[in-house]
Structure formats: structure tokens, C-alpha cells
Amino acid sequence: MLFNSLEFIVFFALVITTIVVIKNRKFQHLFLLAASYFFFIFSSNYLVSLLIFSTVLDFYIAQEIWKSTDSKKKKRLLIISIMGNLGLLGFFKYTDFGISQFNSIAIALGQPEIPLLNIILPIGISFYTFQTLSYTIDVYRGNLEPSKSFKEFALFVAFFPQLVAGPIVRAKVFLPQLREKMESGLGLYQIIIKNRNLKFGITLVFIGLMKKMFFADNIGNLVDEIFLSPIGHSSLSIILGTVAFGFQIYGDFSGYSDIAIGAALILGFKIPQNFNKPYFATSPVDFWRRWHISLSTWLRDYLYIPLGGNKKSKSRTYLNLLIVMFLGGLWHGAAWNFVVWGLLHGSYLAIHKILSNKFPSITSHPFFKTKIGLILSIFVTQYFVFLAWIPFRVSDTESMTYSIQKYIFLDFQILDTITYLESHKIRVMILIIFVIFHFISYKKGNLPLLISNWKIEYWFMFLVGIILSILFFYVGNSEDFIYFQF
């Protein structure tokens, strides 16, 4: 069930109506759980059994870990949780990839191939797996007391606004909100009426729809035409396609996150920000503080730090960065192009760390605090960020290599680029508007919050403007969100 579909609008309207009509707080939480499972079943049918398995596994294992005083037993239980969750994720996401790699070797050796299983990837499995794992690990570390209510924990795992593509929510953020509502004696409806975030939530939902349906889907047509067969294109065309894809995936994914966060706010829940003007990052580290924040902080807390982080030797720190981003790339998809993307970002982080260690006086020079220095830092950082988007978008090795070469080594040919600009005038205009929108967001800080504080008539006109822009420029088919495939 897509956020930008009529089915979701009807579904969400029914959820809100039911919560408003039936104010009993216990019923509301139980109803939200049932609605979340219905949402998942509607999206992925029988594969809801995997979601239930992860929920049951981590609920009971976390309780046993908390009750146990035997450190070895606690570790064994944690390993069972990790193996159970990652085993499911690995089977459904990487089995066919592993078979295809084995077959490549078998063909080279003249051996028979193993048939692919053609396994369907369950929607959202990468996200809810990391979510339940973080819960069990936090309980094991003693940072979180496990939930005593299975219903409460199940709603945390299955909460439908962020179930399919994040943000990855921590239990210590979500569970206290459920308990506060229970202890206050007020149902969700009463909380909503008193909550100033209602208008903010609606604003986020509309901005998310605009990012997806007006910006990302339109820009995506330009990207598809350029990268459908990139070999033979000029450098400027490759750069145009790369920049367009960078904003397409940003509009698509941040749009989903905005809708998820906004829908949660309308229901009375706060889930964490997932994007913060990433294309104004001034370093690779800064980029990952702004892009897919819930994943980058998860990788930091549950992978990078356990590996030793930067507490061991410098060479080990660089290796840890490469390992984390390699696995981060593999998390995105079972394909070598995602591994290349991850290793590129790992290299950026390692090189930035090397330069910071070797030349601290240069990297912290006051020049980089000036306007010119800031612009230079942003430009250099984004040059490499957009370079890494090429392997993310182009999976074919030959096409990927060609596109990267053209991106780096300019040929200054413009004829085919002019053809694209002429045939995609509206989409190029929409891309430019999106860049301006991103700049305004950067300058104004929390733009959605500012808009939500407008007078009601201006706010309503803004929402109507979004609806009209989608109606007039909608490409005519509802595209899946890009991160649904991960």
C-alpha cells in the first residue's frame, strides 16, 4: 500500500475516524496494531509471518536476557536473536545473489549451475529487522528495560507509518510515548486535539507527497532516459543524469520519511528525523549526519562502535569505516553496485579521517568557516557524493565504469545534452525548482515547521498549491518508493 495511493488515503482516513470515534486508550493501541498488520498484509500478503516471527523472537529473548544473571547465557540469547533475525534477512535478501555468484564461478570452471530460487524480498524486512535487533541489543547492554506487554512491543515493531521504509525507530524513543498516553489516562484522540504537532504533521505529509509525486517521479523520467543506455553519452549528459538521480532519490526517500513522520504526528507519535539538508553537507562525516540518519546512527551504535570505532589504532579506525560502509552498501541491496557505493563512502570517510589526523591545522583552518570556504567544502563534498550515486543507480559494470569515467574526465561535448534539455524542458525546470527548494530549506532551517505556523488561510493555500502542482504535473502512474526494494 503506497503512501501516494488512493488506498492509503482511504485507509488512513478510516484509522483516524475510528480513533476519533472510539476514545478508549487501550482499544486505540490495539486497533493501531491491527491496522498496522492489515497495512503490512495488504502490502506483502503472507510474508507478515516473518514480521510476527521477529516480534515474538525478540520480545521473549529480551525478557530472558533481562531476567538472567549469567553473562554467558545472556550472550547466547543475544546470539540467537542476531542469528534468527539476520538469518531470515540473509535468506530472503541474499540467497539468490549468493547462488548467482557461485554460478559465475561454476560457469568459468565448466561446472553445472544451481537454479535460482527466485525468492520474493519481503517489504520492509531490512528496516524492522534492524529495529528489533536494536531493541534486543539495548536490553543486553542494560540500556533499556524490556517491555512487559507483548501488544506494546508488537505495535513498536509494526507501527505502519514507518514499517516499510523507516525511519528505523529505537524502542527507547517509541515505547515511552505509548506508556505516557496510557499513564495520562487520555486516549490518542485527546492527545491529538491538545497537540500542536497536528498541523505540523499534515504539513509534513503534504510536503512529502510533493517531494515524491511532483519532484521525484517527474525527475525520474529524465534519469531513466539517460541511464537506460549511458554508453555513448557525453560528460555533461552523465552529470545531468547523476545530479537528477541524486535529487530523485532524495525526493523519493525523504518524501517517504516526511509522510511517515507526519502520519505518526497526526496519530500523536513523534518519530525521529531522517534527513537534514544532506546536499549542504561540508564533509563525508557531515553528509552521514544528514542522510538516512536513522540508518547511519544505527550502523554507528551497533556496528562501528562494537568494532572498536576510533578507540583503537588509526589503521583499525580506517578499516572499521570501510567495513561499516561495505555492510551498509550490502544492506541496501544484494548486488555489487551497492557494494561499490558503500566502499566509495567508506573510502571518503577514511580519507577524511586520515586528512583530519595528519593535517589538523588545515582541516580546522578558519578559512573553512568563511562563506567562500563553506561553499568550497560543500561543492567538494557533493562532487564525491554525486559520484557515488552513479554505481547506486547503474548496476551494469560496463555502463557504470563508462559513466564514472565521463563524470570525472570531462569531454565538453554538449550536443546530446542540449537534446535532453530541449526534450525534457519541464522536468529540467522541476529539477531546478527542487534545487531551489532544497536551498530555501537550508537557509530557513525547519521549513515545514515554519509553514505549519503560518496563518490558517496562507497554510491552506500552500496545501492547495501542492495538490494543484501534483494534479497538473503528475506523470500518470504511481511509482513505488525506491527504498521499498531494500
Per the structure, the complete domain to which residue 118 belongs is given by 6-185
Across 423-450, average pLDDT: 91
446 vs 360 pLDDT, higher one: 446
pLDDT value for 480: 66
Domain boundary among 185, 208, 235: 185
Each residue of 204-237: pLDDT tens digit?
999 999 999 899 999 998 999 999 889 989 999 9
Examine residue 177 and state whether it is found in any structural domain, yes or no: yes
Tell whether 181 and 229 lie within a shared domain: no
- Number of structural domains (the chain) is 2
Examine residue 190 and state whether it is found in any structural domain, yes or no: no
Q: Rounded distance, CA 348 to CA 338, Å? A: 15
Tell whether 71 and 218 lie within a shared domain: no
Tell whether 53 and 145 lie within a shared domain: yes
Domain boundary among 132, 152, 185: 185
Calculate the alpha carbon distances from 94 to 88, 91, 113, 120 in Å. Answer: 10, 6, 17, 11
Tell whether 254 and 350 lie within a shared domain: yes
Domain boundary among 125, 152, 185: 185
Examine residue 192 and state whether it is found in any structural domain, yes or no: no
Task: Assign 193 a pLDDT band (cuts: 50, 70, 90).
Answer: very low
Tell whether 321 and 451 lie within a shared domain: yes
Examine residue 113 and state whether it is found in any structural domain, yes or no: yes
pLDDT value for 392: 94
Tell whether 206 and 127 lie within a shared domain: no
pLDDT above 60 for 476: no
pLDDT above 70 for 184: no
Examine residue 360 and state whether it is found in any structural domain, yes or no: yes
CB 165, CB 482: distance < 8 Å = no
pLDDT value for 187: 54
pLDDT above 70 for 1: no
Task: Share the mean pLDDT of the chain.
Answer: 88
463 vs 366 pLDDT, higher one: 463
Across 77-94, average pLDDT: 92
Tell whether 238 and 131 lie within a shared domain: no
pLDDT value for 141: 94
Tell whether 176 and 216 lie within a shared domain: no
Quote the percentage of the chain above a pLDDT of 90.
53
Each residue of 40-78: pLDDT tens digit?
887 666 678 889 999 999 999 999 999 988 999 999 999
Owner of C-alpha cell 546470539: 79
Each residue of 2-39: pLDDT tens digit?
777 778 888 998 998 888 888 777 788 889 999 999 98
pLDDT value for 20: 80
Tell whether 144 and 227 lie within a shared domain: no
pLDDT above 80 for 165: no
Examine residue 65 and state whether it is found in any structural domain, yes or no: yes
Task: Assign 182 a pLDDT band (cuts: 50, 70, 90).
Answer: low
pLDDT value for 395: 87
Examine residue 295 and state whether it is found in any structural domain, yes or no: yes
Examine residue 342 and state whether it is found in any structural domain, yes or no: yes
Tell whether 451 and 308 lie within a shared domain: yes
Determine phi and psi for 113, rounding to 5 degrees.
-85, 160
Nearest Cα residue to 89 out of 46, 45, 133: 133
Q: Rounded distance, CA 3 to CA 212, Å? A: 10
Each residue of 390-428: b (16+ CB within 10 Å) or e?
bbbbbeeeebbebbbebbeeeeeeeeebeebbeebeebb
Owner of C-alpha cell 532544497: 438
- Which residues are known catalytic residues? 332
Tell whether 135 and 256 lie within a shared domain: no
Tell whether 437 and 369 lie within a shared domain: yes
pLDDT value for 79: 95
pLDDT above 90 for 387: yes
Nearest Cα residue to 155 out of 66, 35, 243: 35
pLDDT value for 461: 94
pLDDT value for 42: 78
Across 104-128, average pLDDT: 84
Across 74-86, average pLDDT: 94
In the chain, the N- to C-terminal Cα span, in Å, equals 16
Task: Assign 320 a pLDDT band (cuts: 50, 70, 90).
Answer: very high
